[in-house]
Amino acid sequence: MPRDLPLNSLGLPKPPSETRVVVAMSGGVDSSVVAAMLAEEGYDVVGVTLQLYDHGAALAKKGACCAGRDIHDARRVAEAMGFPHYVLDYENVFREAVIEEFADAYLAGATPVPCIRCNERVKFKDLLATARDLEADCMATGHYIQRKVGVGGAELHQATDAARDQSYFLFSTTAEQLDYLRFPLGHLASKAETRALAARYGLPVADKPDSQDICFVPNGDYAAVIEKLRPGAADPGEIVDLAGNVLGMHRGVIHYTIGQRKGLGIGGLGEPLYVVRLDPQTRRVIVGPKEALSTRIIPVREINWLGDEAFDSRAEWNLEVKVRSTRAPREAIIRPVSKTEAEVELIVPEDGVSAGQAAVFYAPEGGRVFGGGWIWKGR
């Protein structure tokens, strides 16, 4: 039997020079630093960038990942660090797996999170398969999340920097994918450290601004994108209260989100009113007082479970749950209905819980991510 080799920095029993790593490169500073860091350590790095939507349209747009400028920037980093770089055309896959569902979900009155679906259905599925085809030992990304090895195998943990943590968007990463993935930035204390590394490596993207928008939604204008994808989607309708009384007219359900207060055009009615429900079938926007937004019981499906025991091996799990990316996890009881469905009971009710959002499960202490699922039935 050969003597066991020491593990390299990626946890593999090989010298870096014999370890091939595919790095998913968006053209931003985070993934560029990952690629440069691994190349400097002597790994056999291969950079891959996905072209996810029309290149021509992308060239005129700033502030989003995977645009034409970003492909160019990723290529420049690869040239500077001396490793190969490939661009893969995933426009059709991205449209079918992400954009079409986004449009349909929005039209159904949900509040979708397309970045999670992109990770689940494109980056960590097709791109990961490509990495295996390239005979890579693992795939690395610039996400701010940590992969740790526990008694049951690879575990997902929140990033050290809570302000940058991306665990909400990566809850659907499966145990099998987690075995193959690496997240070299998850332990960094701040984004300033990442930029300092980029400057140290002399990367051309060291001062590049972070992306803000969903890549196919320019300037955050969801409604404009939906109208283009689904002509006629912005038909006007009634704004009604909880009793069904008509308070005014709206310019299309797609212009509203659960919890919205401003821009309803129905001022002067006394207490502030909020959007509490959207009914695309009747084209109605239902409004009510703030307390009508409170939700305690949340049905969740398509659960990806990352615990050491089977999800349905217990009657309930006492964990913390995050129902929006911008909110902190809250204490909850999760009651499995099947291997992939559950009822989540929040100990303290949350406002503005919406179908289409993710419910992500966390350990009460230590930052471990236990997976999560999709909220599928609103109020």
Neighbours of 203 (CB within 10 A): 22
Contact 198, 80 (CB under 8 A): no
d(CA 276, CA 294): 9
* Amino acid identity for residue 80 in this structure: A
Catalytic pick from 66, 115, 118, 138?
A: 118
Helix (H) or strand (E) holding 229: helix 222-229
Q: Is 66 a catalytic residue?
A: no
d(CA 205, CA 331): 40
Helices 29-40 and 68-81 meet at what angle, rounded to 10? 20
Could you say which DSSP state residue 151 is in?
T
Contact 370, 376 (CB under 8 A): no
By CB atoms closer than 10 A (0-12, 13-18, 19+), residue 129 is: exposed
Contact 354, 275 (CB under 8 A): no
Q: Is 65 a catalytic residue?
A: no
What lies within 8 Å, CB to CB, of 295 at 6+ separation is: 346, 349, 350, 351, 353, 379
Tell how strand 330-336 and strand 342-351 pair up.
Answer: antiparallel
d(CA 230, CA 103): 7
Contact 73, 27 (CB under 8 A): yes
Q: Within 13 Å of residue 143, how many CA atoms lie on the same side as its CB? A: 26
Nearest in space to 160 (alpha carbons), one of 194, 195, 114: 194
d(CA 309, CA 59): 47
Token output for 18: 């014999």
Catalytic pick from 65, 66, 115, 215?
A: 215
Give buried/exposed letters for 87-102 (b at 16+ CB in 10 A, else e). Answer: beebeebbbebbbebb
Residue bearing tokens 């991205």 = 94
Catalytic residue ranges: 118, 215
